[in-house]
Amino acid sequence: MVEKCNNFLKRVTTIIIGVFLAFFTIFWKEFPFFIVVIIIALLGLRELYSMAHKQGYRPSYILGSILTLYFIIITVYDIYSLNYYVKNIFITFFIILTFIFHLFKKDYSKVLAEVSIAIFGSIYLGYLLSFILKIKDLPNGNYFLVSLLIITWVNDSGAYLIGTKLGKNKIFPKISPKKTIEGSIGGIIFSIAGTFALKSWLNLTFNQLLFLSLIISIIAQLGDLFESVLKRGSGIKDSGILIPGHGGILDSLDSLIFTAPVFYYCIIYLTLN
């Protein structure tokens, strides 16, 4: 029990520090925020490739990194209306050259799987995380982005706290034996409370706030479970040790990877139409 309490305190402390740092970097006008997203994405990609290595695969980190950077950078390009054709010509030829490189490998038995892992990683950590930048570029985007971080992380803390204290009924025991129905409900309740606490930032009606909190909480938990599937398949408990109380980058951002695009389209639907 003492260990669980200490771990919860570590998680909460990390989240508080994370929100503070996020708030600082998001609202610092001169700070190139997209660099933070790039660093996080590449660190997460490294953890994902470490999982692949444990299964005997050696996907190209160069290909994965370039594709991940591409998804993030084209978001910045779209924001600043830079040349569409230049960026697409570059990435097209790079992908072809990378594929040609595989002609010279000694073992072809894992080429399909390794190329697929590289492409998957870039979509998972490049394309989906790029929605963080899209959210930031919205009208009132800084407040929307901080709100997303708070709602997502409050869900994580609520699910962990209630699941630890009251959890009895397993929700997906084959994927994550410690996750419970009670914890899931706790995450939803905490998300609802967190969303309504941010009403002035989100500027939504009661029904809109309730809808947003429910959908983000559910998607956050599905994102967490998906990363658990990746870890389960690799035979590891945590993706890394970088974040105290959480594990690795993927362990900390698994929910956010899923919630960022969903939140973006929800805000577009609820406020901008």
DSSP string, 209-270: HHHHHHHHHHHHHHHHHHHHHHHHHHT-S-S-SSBTTTBSHHHHHHHHHHHHHHHHHHHHHH
State whether residue 109 is helix, strand or coil: coil
What would the 3-class secondary structure string for 151-189 be? Answer: HHHHHHHHHHHHHHHHCCCECCCCCCCCCEHHHHHHHHH
Model confidence pTM above 0.85: yes
Q: In a 3-state reduction of DSSP, which class is residue 201?
A: helix
The C-alpha atoms of residue 95 and residue 152 are separated, in whole angstroms, by: 34
Instruction: Look at residue 147 in the predicted model and tell me its pLDDT.
Output: 95
Mean per-residue pLDDT, 13-34: 80
pLDDT digits (tens, 9 = 90+) for 151-173: 998 999 899 889 988 888 998 88
Residue 22 is predicted with a pLDDT of: 80
pLDDT tens digits for range 195-213: 999 999 999 999 999 999 9
**pLDDT tier for residue 237 given thresholds of 50, 70 and 90:** confident
What pLDDT was estimated at residue 1?
53
188 Cβ contact partners less than 8 Å away, ≥ 6 residues apart: 155, 158, 213, 214, 217, 218
pLDDT exceeds 80 at position 87: no
Closest CA to 231 of 56, 39, 54, 57: 54
CA 207 to chain CA centroid, Å, is: 26
pLDDT band of residue 219 (cuts 50, 70, 90) is very high
Percent of the chain with pLDDT over 70: 88
pLDDT(223) > 60: yes
Average pLDDT for the chain: 86
Ramachandran region, residue 30 (left: φ > 0; alpha: ψ -120 to 50; beta: rest):
alpha
So what's the pLDDT on residue 265?
95
pLDDT score of 238 more than 80: no
